[in-house]
Amino acid sequence: MRLSTALTYTFGVDGIAKAQEALLRTQQQIATGRRVSTPADDPVAAAQALAIDQAKGRVGQYTTNIGAAKDSLAMHESVLDQITSLLQDVRTLAVNAGNGTLANSDRAAIGTDVAGRLQQLIGLANSKDGDGSYMYGGFETAGQPFVATPTGVAYTGDQGQRVLEVAPARSLAITENGAALFQQIRNGNGSFAASAATTNTGTGVIGAGQVADPAAMTGHQYELQFSVAAGLTTYSVFDVTAGATVSAGNAYNPGTAITVAGMQTTIGGAPAAGDRFTLAPSTASSVFATLAKLVTALQTPATGGSGSARVSNDVTAALSDIDQALDHVLTVRADVGARLRELDSLATGNDDRQLRYDQTLSSLRDLDYNRALSEFAKQQLALQAAQQSFAKIAGLSLFDYLK
């Protein structure tokens, strides 16, 4: 093959350029610490790294969401703690108000204290989070969810509950719906509510009662109707729901358990003729209404034995409802604690995944410095050899041999 001078120069320059290009690429890898800077460096590794980067980004977003969820739930738990303390204080006040030796003025003073706690509770129900959004309004975060009206405390929020996606296919509630938290509390003992008629004239006081036989409960409302004749007190059991008398002429013994359709309660004192007591299935009630009723009961003067019995019945009913509210709040707090624990577990798992992703990305993209430095030295030598050989070939001339 005949090589022209132009072709010799072309081959020489191309060889030097390729050697310089390889040296420059290695030098760039050493400077950045990356073996794969562009997809052209290693298409397969670049594609794998892109997929891992995307997965890492998703985990990073979940980590951010977990942080936001933990902040929201921690604030929520703090408010629930204050509500728990408030209800415990109100319960203590109600127990004190049940003391039969208190004067009307003493009970009225306690009622004023409870009224203040009611306003405090409304304030807690209208708590805001760090963003200035109302915590218990559902999706309605801009408007005050609980408003005091002449007829009671009204809820203006919706039934929504805000959630955040904290893991693949796992969304976690970060707030509580105000209606569910404050207005959907079972009254009485949670199964049924025992109450005295406001028209009673005797001194009968009914207890909160308990479930004696769950299987015997019918879900009906019953009424204990008292009669007094010749000094003998008896009562009849009337099924209000069915409109039928269950039994009549039952002897009344103060403090003795009375069982009706699986529901058991006691009545103390001396009921008068025509006095009525009701056993009804528990329904959803508002904790605000419970406190408001207690305030009214304590601030209404009691005169005579029937007045004292009325206060005792009202206080007993309020205590049962407050206990249910406390149990309800504590259940919600336990659920919040479970969510916080789950978030901690998810955060730990995300940290582990991020570490594994980083290790995989490092194996795909990061540079082996020992190998790279050795390659750099070899490429330097190759470039020097290409330059020196080109210089010698370029310096050859036919006239050097014609002497």
Q: For residues 178 and 79, is the Cβ–Cβ distance under 8 A?
A: no
381 lies in some domain: no
Tell me, what amino acid is at 82? Answer: Q
The residue segments making up the domain with residue 180 are 34-187+285-366
| Cα four-point dihedral sign 326, 294, 209, 244 | negative
| Residues 200/276, Cβ–Cβ less than 8 Å | yes
Tell me how far apart the alpha carbons of residues 212 and 376 are, in angstroms, rounded to a whole number: 88
Q: Count of domains in the chain?
A: 2
| 395 within a domain of the structure (yes/no) | no
Residues 47 and 144 in one domain: yes
**What letters, b where the CB count within 10 A reaches 16 and e where it falls short, cover 199-227?**
ebbbbbbbbbbeeeeeeebeebbbbbbbb
Stretch (H or E) spanning 205 = strand 205-206
Residue 63 located in a structural domain = yes
- Pure H helices in 300-397: 304-365, 369-394
Residues 278 and 291 in one domain: no
The predicted pLDDT at position 113 comes to 96
Q: Helix, strand, or coil here: 144?
A: coil
Among residues 252, 282, 312, the one where a domain terminates is 282
Give domain status of residue 12, yes or no: no
The whole-number pLDDT of residue 219 equals 94
What's the one-letter identity of residue 55?
A
* pLDDT on residue 281: 96
Q: Which residues contact 145 (CB under 8 A, 6 or more apart)?
A: 125, 126, 134, 136, 137, 138, 155, 156, 157, 178
> pLDDT tens, 365-399?
656 566 656 665 676 666 666 666 666 666 655 55
Cα–Cα distance for residue pair 211/206, rounded to 1 Å: 15
311: which 2 tokens?
């206060």
Low-confidence ranges of the chain (pLDDT < 70): 1-42, 45-46, 49, 361-377, 379-403
Cα gap 332→181, rounded to integer Å: 8
- Does residue 221 share a domain with residue 145? no
- The model carries a pTM of 0.79
Shared-domain flag, residues 353 and 313: yes
Same-domain status, 173 and 319: yes
Residue ending a domain, choose from 265, 282, 299 = 282
CATH code, domain with 136: 1.20.1330.10
Contact 144, 126 (CB under 8 A): yes
As a whole number of angstroms, the distance between CA 85 and CA 91 comes to 10
- β-partners of residue 250 are 235
Give yes or no: residues 182 and 62 share one domain: yes
Same domain, residue pair 180 and 199: no
Residue 323: other Cβ atoms inside 10 A? 16
Residues 182 and 297 reside in one and the same domain: yes
Q: Given this model, what pLDDT does residue 130 score?
A: 81
Cα first-last separation, the chain: 27
> What DSSP designation does 159 have?
S
d(CA 248, CA 308): 28
Question: Is the separation of the CB atoms in 89 and 117 below 8 Å?
Answer: yes
Task: Check whether residue 77 and residue 174 sit in a common domain.
Answer: yes
Residue 8 lies in a domain: no
Domain boundary among the residues 254, 282, 310 is at 282
Q: Is residue 390 part of a domain?
A: no
Looking at residue 193, its pLDDT comes to 95
| SS3 call for 297 | helix
- Asked if 298 and 111 count as a contact pair (C-beta separation under 8 A), the reply is yes
Asked whether 206 and 180 are in contact (CB, 8 A), the reply is no
Q: Are residues 50 and 154 in the same domain?
A: yes
- DSSP code of residue 272: P
Please give the pLDDT value at position 218: 94
| Cβ-Cβ contacts under 8 Å for 205 (sequence gap 6 or more) | 196, 267, 268, 269, 309, 312, 313, 316
Q: How far apart are CA 310 and CA 91, in angstroms?
A: 18
Residue 149 and residue 205 in one domain: no
- For residues 234 and 245, membership in a common domain is answered with yes
CB atoms within 10 A of CB 341: 10
